[in-house]
Structure 1
């Protein structure tokens, strides 16, 4: 595991992104056109001064935002109400993201990330100690995202995992974090640079979330 990977993991676990928790705010940035009672919170990892993982000419913060925006569009078409931790290239602390989702009363929290550290493929996480609802949601979302990716290209399944990540530990609803390929692996980065592959990732997230919430 390289230094970039270790630093990013420590930040996710300790909850340090370089910003103090900001006041909860509401506004047009969150775009919630639907009145459906099903509330999905999408969390594009990193943003602003925090690019996340970087490699092969790509930045994690840009990829996660693109995937999340695509996922939001698909979920809204199914009638879900969707809120996002960010809809542009701005920084949000981990605590802000968690507090915002909790205060809003989301039914499901999904944090979207891109991996680094020399590996390849897709993996996803839930908190180390969770109830059956989160386990079931994880069991649904993981293969759905993988299927979306594999509708475009062959992808290695690194499996469902658990971790003590801040956004998984402190959210009051079921929460899952996805790591969508490795930005520092040339073959993975080549896929991430393709719009059709990112659309496949978004489709997988949308399909899984819809199945979890009965949309």
Structure 2
């Protein structure tokens, strides 16, 4: 009887002292984050066009895949465009200046934690690899670019480094953001990948992992 009482007391003490370890899931890192996606080009502006493949169409498809992935991780996601139109929504007298001005306004309208401008590159047929650009005066932008680049290169195998720039969408917005070139349409092998829906999901996963790395490592908690 004494042995039984001792066991019960010991069990009660262990139960009181035990504190379960609560693991924070990756989705919780983005649960209160607002992210804007800016699929480059659209409408009369196809962007790069190689072998009948238009950049603006793939930018949109990749952005939809990225939106879906980010939302599964808890983020609130908005897009500057959701169809084949530029921001002016005109089918005549296309103005790049007007389009970019409206994009910057739309990004800032949502007051996001960050935004991503999604693009594809084009150069010589031998050029390949993803690359992430940040505004040259933004240290936070550089950190975000590094985190996304590190995750993307495990997928794309890129040998390119992140790069500072003064692209309008990066310098004209008040929000933290980066511009991502997901690969080269001018490279036949990469073009084949970039047309593939399954590859869009892989890109979305890698980019999302990079965003989570940034918030985990650099961003102040709520």
* TM-score between the two structures when normalised by the length of structure 2: 0.74
Report the Cα distance in structure 2 between the residues aligned to 1:134 and 1:180, rounded to whole angstroms: 17
Quote the residue 2:173 is aligned against.
171
1:124 aligns with 2:122: no
- Counting matched residue pairs gives 175
Quote the residue 1:37 is aligned against.
32
Q: Which runs of 5+ in 2 are unaligned?
A: 1-30, 88-98
The secondary structure found in structure 2 opposite 1:157 is: coil
Quote the residue 1:136 is aligned against.
143
1:145 aligns with 2:152: yes
Superposition CA RMSD, Å: 1.8
Quote the residue 2:209 is aligned against.
207
Quote the residue 2:70 is aligned against.
75
Quote the residue 1:51 is aligned against.
46
Q: Is the 8 A contact 2:135 2:142 kept in 1?
A: no
User: Which stretches of structure 1, 4 residues or more, deviate above 4 A after TM superposition?
Assistant: none
Q: Is the 8 A contact 1:56 1:189 kept in 2?
A: no
Shift of 1:126: 0.5
Higher relative contact order (CA 8 A, sep 6+): 1
Shift of 1:156: 2.7
Q: Is the 8 A contact 1:126 1:162 kept in 2?
A: yes
Equivalent residue for 1:109, pick from 105, 112, 115: 115
Report the Cα distance in structure 2 between the residues aligned to 1:96 and 1:143, rounded to whole angstroms: 31
Alpha-carbon displacement from aligned partner over 1:126-177 (angstroms, at most 9, x marks no partner) = 012113x222111111112222x34xxxx33211011110011011121100
Larger Rg: 2
Shift of 1:210: 2.6
Report the Cα distance in structure 2 between the residues aligned to 1:156 and 1:141, rounded to whole angstroms: 12
* TM-score between the two structures when normalised by the length of structure 1: 0.76
Q: Which runs of 5+ in 1 are unaligned?
A: 1-35
Report the Cα distance in structure 2 between the residues aligned to 1:186 and 1:175, rounded to whole angstroms: 29
Report the Cα distance in structure 1 between the residues aligned to 2:153 and 2:36, rounded to whole angstroms: 20
